């Protein structure tokens, strides 16, 4: 007679379905996974590949700053803006950044709501990617103004000049979209990290690191009350972030859909943009995961099952946007 609650067949074997590819390869428990992940963060050794990637990123940042400086001196006309084309070359970059930014939290939140266990190996990649992407996307409404020193005019604040934003302007829509989504994404990312900050606090050897991680952990002790409130807050934020992503990216698609440019004035853009965001988001997560997986030896934590599931989602969304 079976001692568990799983239904059994006549031959005594369980009817429970088991995926052919495990979430984690090898014999691992919570302690071994924690030691491996925390060891990457707390080690004093930094791989040479990190310095190489940092150098390439720094050079590209300098190129970007040079391009922005040229833009501010010459004007937004270098983007090819004319009548009736209100958006120029930079709108491509804005949509790309906001697309992968929206997809990061959407990926993490939807997989959490669907109770997909394999999300725990990729959700940090997706959420961190979101924060950086949203920060980059937030630059473009300011640059599109042509006079970025007046960017505060986009904010709906009471002022003595009696100036209020023009709510029919897509620039104002973008500011509301980026700021709202950035706030929720930051909260979702930070709340999810609180138990991890506490783990790093307990494992850190340097007093300064223990103090920093202790402040970020906000007094987490892992009690039943802490876990109950954490799971409640995390689930609520996931439920809030999921429809917010869809609505915010729909607003971004209106930058094109409400214009009078042929090929842009169409009602298919909102669902098309959402599907494209998921597609590009998973593509960027894979772009980050695959080299990091190889550099830090995470093959047993990020397995073929994770890569295969992400590839399947990309295939499905690619059929929509293709």
Share of the chain above pLDDT 70, in %: 88
Alpha-carbon distance of 117 to 111, in angstroms, equals 8
Q: Provide the pLDDT for residue 190.
A: 92
Alpha-carbon distance of 199 to 302, in angstroms, equals 21
What is the distance of C-alpha 114 from the center of its chain? 18
Alpha-carbon distance of 244 to 246, in angstroms, equals 5
Q: Provide the pLDDT for residue 20.
A: 59
Looking at residue 1, what DSSP letter applies?
Answer: -
**Each residue's pLDDT expressed in tens, for the chain with a length of 322 residues:** 444 555 555 555 555 555 556 666 666 666 777 777 777 777 777 778 888 989 999 999 999 999 989 988 888 888 888 776 777 777 888 888 888 887 788 788 888 888 887 887 788 888 888 888 888 888 888 888 778 888 887 777 766 666 666 777 788 888 888 888 888 889 999 998 898 888 888 888 888 888 998 899 888 888 899 999 999 999 999 998 888 888 888 888 888 888 777 777 888 888 888 888 888 888 888 888 888 888 888 777 888 888 888 888 889 888 888 7
Alpha-carbon distance of 205 to 211, in angstroms, equals 11
Task: Give the closest residue to 106 by CA, choosing from 282, 321, 226.
Answer: 282
Q: Which residue has the tokens 């002022």?
A: 159
pLDDT tens-digit series, residues 249-293 = 888 888 888 877 777 788 888 888 888 888 888 888 888 888 888
Q: Do the beta carbons of residue 184 and residue 105 sit within 8 Å?
A: yes
Task: Give the closest residue to 86 by CA, choosing from 249, 252, 261, 262.
Answer: 261
Instruction: Give me the CATH code for the 88-321 domain, please.
Output: 1.20.1630
Q: Do the beta carbons of residue 112 and residue 238 sit within 8 Å?
A: yes
Alpha-carbon distance of 162 to 139, in angstroms, equals 26
Q: Provide the pLDDT for residue 66.
A: 94
Alpha-carbon distance of 174 to 49, in angstroms, equals 36
Q: Provide the pLDDT for residue 60.
A: 94
Q: Do the beta carbons of residue 289 and residue 125 sit within 8 Å?
A: yes
From residue 283, alpha-carbon distances to 5, 22, 184, 252, 293 in Å are: 40, 22, 23, 20, 15
Q: Provide the pLDDT for residue 8.
A: 56
Terminal-to-terminal C-alpha distance of the chain: 53
Beta bridge partners of 8: 14
Alpha helices in the chain (DSSP H): 30-42, 48-74, 90-113, 123-137, 139-144, 170-203, 207-217, 224-257, 269-295, 304-321
Q: Provide the pLDDT for residue 1.
A: 44
């Amino acid at each position: 007679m079976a001692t568990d609650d799983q239904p059994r067949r006549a031959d005594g074997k369980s009817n429970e379905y088991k995926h052919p590819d495990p979430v984690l390869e090898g014999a691992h428990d919570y302690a071994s996974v924690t030691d491996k992940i925390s060891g990457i963060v707390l080690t004093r050794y930094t791989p040479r590949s990190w310095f190489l990637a940092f150098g390439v990123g720094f050079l590209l940042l300098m190129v970007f700053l040079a391009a922005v400086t040229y833009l501010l001196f010459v004007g937004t006309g270098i983007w090819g803006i004319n009548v009736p084309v209100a958006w120029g070359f930079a709108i491509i970059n804005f949509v790309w950044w906001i697309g992968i930014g929206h997809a990061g939290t959407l990926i993490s939140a939807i997989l959490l709501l669907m109770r997909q266990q394999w999300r725990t190996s990729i959700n940090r990649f997706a959420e961190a990617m979101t924060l950086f992407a949203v920060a980059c996307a937030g630059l473009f409404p300011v640059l599109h103004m042509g006079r970025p020193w007046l960017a505060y005019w986009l904010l709906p604040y009471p002022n003595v000049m009696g100036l209020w934003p023009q709510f029919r302007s897509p620039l104002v829509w973008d500011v509301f979209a980026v700021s709202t989504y950035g706030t929720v994404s930051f909260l979702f990312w930070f709340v999810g990290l609180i138990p991890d900050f506490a783990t790093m606090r307990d494992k850190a050897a340097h007093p300064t690191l223990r103090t920093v991680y202790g402040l970020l952990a906000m007094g987490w002790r892992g009690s039943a009350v802490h876990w109950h409130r954490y799971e409640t807050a995390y689930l609520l934020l996931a439920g809030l972030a999921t429809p917010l992503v869809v609505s915010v990216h729909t607003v971004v698609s209106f930058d094109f859909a409400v214009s009078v440019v042929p090929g842009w004035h169409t009602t298919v853009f909102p669902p098309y943009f959402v599907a494209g965001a998921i597609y590009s988001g998973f593509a960027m997560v894979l772009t980050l995961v695959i080299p990091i997986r190889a550099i830090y030896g995470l093959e047993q934590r990020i397995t073929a099952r994770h890569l295969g599931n992400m590839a399947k989602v990309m295939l499905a969304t690619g059929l929509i946007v293709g």
